[in-house]
Structure formats: structure tokens, C-alpha cells
A and B are shown apart, each in its own frame.
Chain A
Amino acid sequence: MKISYKTTITIGIISCFLLLSCSKDDSVAPVEELPPLPAVTVTASGEYSVNDLPGDVTKTMDGKEVTDDGGFNTVYYSLEDGRVVPKEYANTDKWDIAFSGVYNSTIWANNGSVKYESGGSNPGYGSPASGMFYLVVDSEVDAKYYNSINHKPIQIPIPFSYLDEAYSKINRVTVADDQFNYYGSLGLDHFLASGNGYAFYDFYGNMAPGDAKKTHVVYNMARPFIIKTAKGNYAKVILYSFYKGKPENPNRDNVAPYLSFKYTLLKGGGKDFSVLKN
């Protein structure tokens, strides 16, 4: 790189101004106040439904801006308390599940220890939580709607009854903690950098040829997952939809991201969901 003497002087002057402005603004840093948390809606073990939880609805992928990579803000949710948690609490144990990335479709448990050598980190990096997740792939239920060879649904839509079936079949946490995933995130099924996932993303609209409104549509699969919460309790979760109104057969006219899911939480560290059935 060639830099002229004039440029050097200019840069010098500019950097002086930068420094001066630094020293000027160097007042006492205000104590960062965390915003108030919404009211607690969950206090006991049980099954809870969350419908149309807004993701970052200020963003869309329909924009044509070249620089638009989505830039969706992460949504943090406390399964333990049944409330959305503001982003200022990201590095605390106040949340259990986060939704990030394009259409808030990447799911995280809260784990404060995970920072990647490739850059990036768990959204809870720095928190005291050791959360993790386990995706349940029920091959019996999968066989009803999914081709496990080419990783595509046999047909769309995928009925919610299959999602409920796979979810209901989880009677207890049978996998040991060391089989859980604490390091990564849970994403779309076999799309780009992902293996087994919880939803099928029909990028090209291959499931409904000729219907332009069926491209780029996400179909949630019968793939429940178990979350180990920030407090160390277990919850099973089934995610139904990313679209407002929880349509079973969505298309591009449906508004996203609005998350609808159901979960069963066991307070107190238990692993047996069947005790709650009645």
C-alpha cells in the first residue's frame, strides 16, 4: 500500500481529533440498567402453549437489498417463567430458549460457555447457564410423512397431528445429559450447514411445482426436542409454525416470523413427563 505524506498528515490530524473526542466523552459510565421483565406466567410444572410469539417482525427476506442478510434480532424466551426476555438479559440465566437468524429459525439453549473458533457464540455466551437440547427423531412417526433417504417430506402439508403424536410419545427423558447437544444450535432439516432438523425448508418450492407462493416455505416436522433449561430442568417442546395464525399448510402470503409452540416443563429436575398426564 502506498501512502503519501499528505495522507499521513491528514490521518494524523483525524486521529488526533478522534483521540480528543475520546478523552472528552470519558465521563463516568452510567450503570447499565436492565429493562423490566414481563410478568411471570408459569410457576409450576405443566403443559403450556405459546401462540404467535412475534419473532423479529420488523425484518423480511422479501427485500431486495444486496446487503440484507436478514439481520433478524434474536428472541429470548423463558420456559420456566413463561415470558419473553429482553435481549439485555442475553448473558443471564433468565431465558431457556432463543430463536435467531433468518426468520428466527435457529434454536438455541442457553449455554454460557460456548464460543466458536469459527467466530460467533451461543447467544447466552457469558451466562452462568449450562443449557442444552436434544432433538427427538421418531422414525415411526417420521415414516408417515418423510423420506429419510433424500431428506424430503413425502407430501405437504405435514399434519399437526403427527407433530402432536411424536410429542406425546415422549414420556420421559431417556437420554443422558452427555447425549444432549450443548455446543451447537438446532436448525432446519438438511439445509445448508445442518443435519437433522425440526423443520423442512422448501427453498425451491419443489413440493408444490408451479406454485410460486410455495417457494421458501417452512413446514414444521414431527420433531420435538428436549431443552435443558438454564435452571437445569427438562422441558419437551414441539414447534408448530413460524407463521402468524399457525397455518397447517402455509404459503408465502402467511406472515413470518410468528412462533407457535407447546411445551411441557418439569420443575425440580424430574425426567418423567407422564406424571403430569391426567
Chain B
Amino acid sequence: MIKIENKNGWMTYLGCLLFLVLTLASCSKSDNPKPEEGFKAEAPWVPARAKMLKEWAYNYEKVIPVNGVYSKESFEVKQGKAYVFLDEKYGVVYVVNWPAGATHGSLFADPVYFNLDTRDTVRRLDVLAGTNDNWHINFNNIYNSTISVNNDNSSFESGMIRTIATPFDELDQVPSIPAGLGKTTDLELAMGDTGGSWGYYIMASHILEPYWSKTNIIYLKDGRRVKFQLQNLYYGNPKPGTVKDKYEYPAPFFNFKYFIQQTPGSSNLKTR
């Protein structure tokens, strides 16, 4: 509790100044990127200094509301663009609006296998045929919302994915593993707003709500650790809490960022 001596006006003033500084500091720190200077025009959550590694165009269906009602029958075909950026300053990779395929709303979407080193997908049929195991994570299940880690069970850590209640940029270290923590290799959506996942499912509206205040840590088979945040499965990466309808934004389109600590076993995840 802050206590202010009202008799001493200057103390109140100092307190106000301190409060003001704290307020401003927290504002500038916790605010999510806005389409302002310092960020990419193509993706207002990617720093402007990041280098574009990949870009390609595709068509997607955008639902157009009729009298405020969103229905899949009413849509326009639009051109979308996917990007991969690399922020060389901190080694953070940004994947923007990567289409998961024509899986909108399907219960059993085909898994999408992703290699974090090559920053590219791996052909699903090759994985299923057993001819290519060179992937790190795959996105599967409803709306490709489950993150599964390539796992050889060689250790407790291998293939594990953890959820830490710390924003991506503020997570500097891999926290020690708390007693009682079970091994999770398939991270599914949570059901409530306090869940341990990348996001949760709003039952009433069927909207996917990401936790931008949480970060995942992925343990690769080779001992490297990855700081990872799935920001959105909605095209355009809308801010949590702003999505009005389950069909307002096309899904699933991957929007995620990650940092690979290249030294196996190292807990350093600092990207600021």
C-alpha cells in the first residue's frame, strides 16, 4: 500500500512523479506492438529491422458479414501473403500468416510439420511414410491448434513443451523444472483463461484466444531449447480480445515467433 503524507505536499508530488514514471514504463513495456514506427508494415508485430527471408502469395477466403452475421457461405476470395522474417539482432524468427491448408473448422486437420532450423515445413506424407523425421514440431487437431514435439523419450526433457506465464521478450532463462510437473509433449488448447497452453478456446463463441502473456519452451531431441510463442491461428494476428466472431478472421494461419538456443543444455533464452 502506498502511503502519502498529505501534509507534505512535496512528498505527494514526488510520489506522483514516481507513479508517473512507473506507469509510463509499464505502458511502453507491456504494450503489444502496434502498427507504428519500429514495426513491419506487413506484420505490425515484427520489428522493422528484421530481415525478410521468405515471402509468397496465396488466395484465401475472407468471410463478409451480412447484416452483422458471419457465415461461411458469404465470402470474398482475397490474396494473402505469408512471410518469414529473421531478427538478426536477437536471432528471433517470425513466421507470419503461414496457411495451414484448407482445414478451416475441420475436426481432424492434417498435421503440419515444421522444421525450426530450416524455417520451413516438412512434407507430411514423407513423415508418415517414415522417410523424413527431420521436423521439430507439428500442428494438429482442431484448427491445427495442438502443438506436438518430435520426441524420442530419451530423457524427461526430450520432446517436452512447457508453458511459462512470462511474456516472450521477458523470458531470459529456462526456469528450473518444478516438482510435480508432468511431461507434456502435445500442447493442446486450454479450456479456461488460466490454462497452461499457448491459448484457450472460448466455449461460448468458439473463438481461439491466445495468451500473449505466456511463452512456451520446447526441448528438442538434440538437447537444444527453444523459446516459442504461437501468437495466433487467425490471419492477420488480431489482438486477443478483439475478435468478434469465429469467422471474422480466416483460420488456421500460423503466426508465431521463436528463438533457438543453439548450445544444447543451455538455459539462456535472452532476446532483449
Contacts and interface: CB of A to CB of B under 8 A. Distances in A.
Interface of A: 1-3, 8, 11-12, 15-16, 18-20, 22-23, 26, 61-70, 100-102, 106, 114, 116-120, 182-184, 187, 191-194, 204
Contact of B182 (A11, A66, A118, A183): A183
B18 to A, nearest CB: 9
B19 A19 contact: yes
B1 interface: yes
A66 B245 contact: yes
Interface of B: 1-4, 6, 12-13, 15-17, 19-20, 23-24, 27-28, 31, 34, 36, 107, 162-165, 175, 178, 180-182, 187-197, 200-205, 207, 209, 211, 213-214, 241, 243-245
B191 A19 contact: no
A78 to B, nearest CB: 24
A102 B6 contact: no
Contact of A68 (B107, B188, B194, B202): B202
Given A102-B203, A187-B191, 16 more contacts: A19-B16, A19-B19, A23-B4, A65-B205, A69-B202, A69-B203, A116-B165, A116-B196, A117-B175, A118-B162, A119-B165, A119-B194, A183-B182, A184-B182, A192-B189, A193-B195
A221 B160 CA distance: 30
Nearest to A62: B204
A18 B3 contact: no
A40 to B, nearest CB: 32
Return the 3 tightest CB-CB contacts between A and B, nearest first: A120-B194, A118-B196, A119-B165
Contacts of B194: 116, 119-120
Contacts of B24: 3, 8, 11
A19 B4 contact: yes
Contacts of A194: 188
Contacts of B193: 69
A69 B23 contact: no
A1 B196 contact: no
8 contacts: A1-B28, A1-B34, A1-B36, A22-B2, A64-B205, A116-B165, A191-B191, A194-B188
Given A69-B202, A193-B197, A118 B189 contact: no
A118 B180 contact: no
B189 A26 contact: no
Contact of B207 (A66, A120, A183): A66
A106 B193 CA distance: 13
A61 B205 CA distance: 9
A103 to B, nearest CB: 9
A119 B195 CA distance: 7
Contacts of A120: 194-196
B134 to A, nearest CB: 28
Contacts of A12: 16-17, 20
A12 B22 CA distance: 11
Nearest to B6: A23
Contact of A69 (B175, B180, B192): B192
A119 B241 contact: no
Contacts of A193: 187-191, 195-197
A75 B28 CA distance: 39
B165 A19 contact: no
A19 B192 CA distance: 34
Contacts of A66: 202, 205, 207, 243-245
Given A3-B24, A192-B190, A15 B204 contact: no
B140 to A, nearest CB: 13
Contacts of A191: 191
Given A26-B1, A118-B195, A193-B191, A68 B204 contact: yes
Most buried by A among B175, B188, B213, B243: B188
Most buried by A among B20, B163, B178, B243: B20
Contacts of A100: 192
A117 B163 contact: yes
Nearest to A101: B192
Given A68-B205, A118-B163, A118-B214, A15 B23 contact: yes
Contacts of B207: 66
A202 B57 CA distance: 38
A62 B205 CA distance: 9
